[in-house]
């Protein structure tokens, strides 16, 4: 059976576990095997440009030694994705790009729930690079680091900032701007009354489509 490797570029096993939990139902229906890997040499959270650059090189080393048929890079900064696509002949999916492109099929303009201010700047640059910045209604930070995403009060913070994206920025859908936020998708969607997109789910769906098209 063909295999999709999902790599968590940071060293937090909790983030990897959160990603697995958020796609558990989806995974059972896939015609492919999902393999999960935590980058033990990465930072505990990818929150700066220096973190992104460092893990991009680490992703190249990991992918060089995998026999997976497709690769998902489980960080919303999509570290190393462009280089990996140029270097290896297999589907390589960045969760941010996958989420953006899925959101564009759902609503005219989407909003992004980022973790920190620096993330907003990186996301905008990535959207400009992809040529789809005009589809973003807004990108608002939660003011929380990766290590804080499993703590108390996170859902309430997501709801508060999500309402601003909906009511002030005019977002028709909301993207969770971190791989570790998938656990909040359903309750947040119920509160906002808008589609809420888990980028990990979107990227695995894209990887699956790529593999099915190649067979």
pLDDT at 188: 98
Digits of tens for pLDDT over the chain (215 positions)?
Answer: 899 999 999 999 999 999 999 999 999 999 999 999 999 999 888 888 889 888 998 999 999 899 999 999 999 999 999 989 999 889 999 999 999 999 999 998 999 999 999 999 999 999 999 999 999 999 999 999 888 888 889 999 999 999 999 999 999 999 999 999 999 999 999 999 999 999 999 999 999 999 998 87
- pTM to 2 decimals? 0.94
What domains, with CATH codes, occur in the chain?
Answer: 3-94+201-214 (3.40.50.12500), 96-198 (3.40.50.12500)
**Separation in Å, CA 116 to CA 68, 141, 149:** 32, 5, 12
Q: What is the DSSP string of 113-148?
A: EESSHHHHHHHHHHHHHHT-GGGEEEEEE-S--GGG
User: Residue 94 has which token pair?
Assistant: 């960045």
How far apart are the C-alpha atoms of 161 and 157, rounded to whole Å?
6
Write down the pLDDT at residue 33: 94
3-state secondary structure of 31: coil
DSSP helix/strand/coil, 46: coil
């Amino acid at each position: 059976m063909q295999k999709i490797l999902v790599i968590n570029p940071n060293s937090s096993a909790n983030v990897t576990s959160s990603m697995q939990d958020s796609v558990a139902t989806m995974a059972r229906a896939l015609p492919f095997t999902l393999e999960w890997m935590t980058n033990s040499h990465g930072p505990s959270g990818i929150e700066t440009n220096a973190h992104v650059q460092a893990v991009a090189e680490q992703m190249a080393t990991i992918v060089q030694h995998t026999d997976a048929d497709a690769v998902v890079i489980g960080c919303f900064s999509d570290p190393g994705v462009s280089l990996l696509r140029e270097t290896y002949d297999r589907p390589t999916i960045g969760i941010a790009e996958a989420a953006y492109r899925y959101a564009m099929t759902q609503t005219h303009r989407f909003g992004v729930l980022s973790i920190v201010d620096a993330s907003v700047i990186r996301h905008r640059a990535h959207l400009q690079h992809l040529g789809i910045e005009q589809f973003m209604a807004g990108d608002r930070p939660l003011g929380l680091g990766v290590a804080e995403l499993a703590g108390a009060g996170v859902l309430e913070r997501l709801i508060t900032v999500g309402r601003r994206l909906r009511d002030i920025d005019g977002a028709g859908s909301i993207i969770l701007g971190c791989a570790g936020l998938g656990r909040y998708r359903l309750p947040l969607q119920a509160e906002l009354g808008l589609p809420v997109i888990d980028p990990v789910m979107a990227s695995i769906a894209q990887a699956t489509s790529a593999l099915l098209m190649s067979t």
